[in-house]
Structure 1
Amino acid sequence: MTKSVSVCFAVVSADAVKPVSVLVGDSVTLLTGLTYIHDVIQWRSDHQNSPVAEIDRKAGLFNTSDGRFTDKLQLDCLTGSLTIRNIGTRHSGLYKADISSSKHTIHKTFNVTVRDAVKSELVTKGETVTLQTNVTEIQKDDQILWIFGEIVIAEINKAAQRFNKGRLKLNNQTGSLNITNTKTTDSGLYELKISSSRHIILRRITVTVTGE
């Protein structure tokens, strides 16, 4: 009698390396693209052999490593997406996510580049100030929000027309925000949120408008 043997193969897939460019002090979220981690995910950086963050459902493990990140890491308990808060230049490098289950293994790699830049603007009343996104060109799935005083003052994405209002002008290619004929009431903290299918970047820019 011949016995039949069934062999199960796990599917392994790897995405192309995703470049992510941020500025010192930004918060960046590296997205897994999943709604729920059923088994295991491990995040590693090229600075550290051991996982910097991991979830293991069966072992009941949910962990983020301190070390060189000193409480900067936040791991989404559902999706496994990794957030690095208040990022610095020393955090530049490759970040790899290994997502494993009984059926498949997925490898995702992000190349994070952190650059130093001024994130405050000082202008005289009546001048124009430009708040930069440092994006070369908005991609199809990108969305850019500018927020001031907890109110969305400008928004742009490829699927919708750019939103300009009064003295606010958005650059259609980069999403940078121009504030024309500035007033002292324009002084304050502006928040920028750049969202895509790959990552989310949060940035704060302080604007000070002085009198004549």
Structure 2
Amino acid sequence: MKKMFLKFVLCCLYLWRPVGAFGHLRHVSVKEGDSVTLNSGLTEIQTDDEIVWRFGYNGFIIARINNVTKSISYDHYWSLAERLKLDHQTGSLTITNSRILDSGIYEVEIRHSSFETIYRFEVGVYEVFPEKETEKSVLEGDSVALHTGRTYLNDDWIQWWFLKKNYLIAELNVPEDRYIVYDDVLDGRFRDRLNLDKHTGSLTITNLTTQHAGVYDLDFNTMSRRSFSLTVYAHLPVPVISSNSSQCSSSSSSCSLLCSVVNVSDVTLSWYKGNSLLSSISVSDLSISLSLPLEVEYQDKNTYSCVINNPISNQTQHLDISKLCHTCSDSLKL
């Protein structure tokens, strides 16, 4: 009777080791490339213990220790096996050179002769991005892809936000098999324009307008953060070159010209002589008109052009001096 009571007490003491209750989820975060150790809570594996480590919601076995047979084995799951290390004394598991795909739920099952204990860990491997936002520039009507940097998602959830996290526009939750785009926010600004890749979480926005310019934030359950600053440029008009003189000239040897564009923003307007820049003017205001003058000789045989450009496109108008610059004698001949 005393022996049975003693075994009962020892069993209770084993069950009440200070490692947490069954089902308790411990959160562990690690920077990509670093190592992370998941502690079994044991100081020493008992003679008849078996330690089994599983990964993912489906519970794939990735490593185990059988203290009876004194064997340690690693099962191949993705590329984890070659980067796993089991402590033969405690059963703790170390993942070396951690990768984004290692993120997910890990479970250790400690099997004793008459009972078992299970502990679970949620591991988040996060990417380190530069603090500066990733800048992207496109033309109106084009598409843009905002990439998560992943090639595959494990037990992840991600969220895409617009305008400094004021508007949630898309989210994907792998464990719950939830895939949603919120294209009706901001009075339908994104309607029929959002495409969320179910495998990588990357977001593509099609048929862009200037209303879609702004900051897009990506949130991961693995504590990864990424921001994209998107600029959408309107299509540029072709510059118009006109004579700045209302009548022919009989005394001047030069001709006054004007290059103009209307309703433009974030552009530079320039005059070129061949490939050489003569003059330019820039503006960042919204929807204004620009004009840039030029003086040329009537008999000038050089080539001139007026160019409007923004960071991703340009439009050019070539000058035909013979059509725009006439002396009075030329006008009489005509």
More relative contact order, 1 or 2 (CA 8 Å, 6+ apart) = 1
TM-score by length of 1: 0.49
TM-score by length of 2: 0.33
Larger radius of gyration: 2
Give the helix-richer structure, 1 or 2. Answer: 2
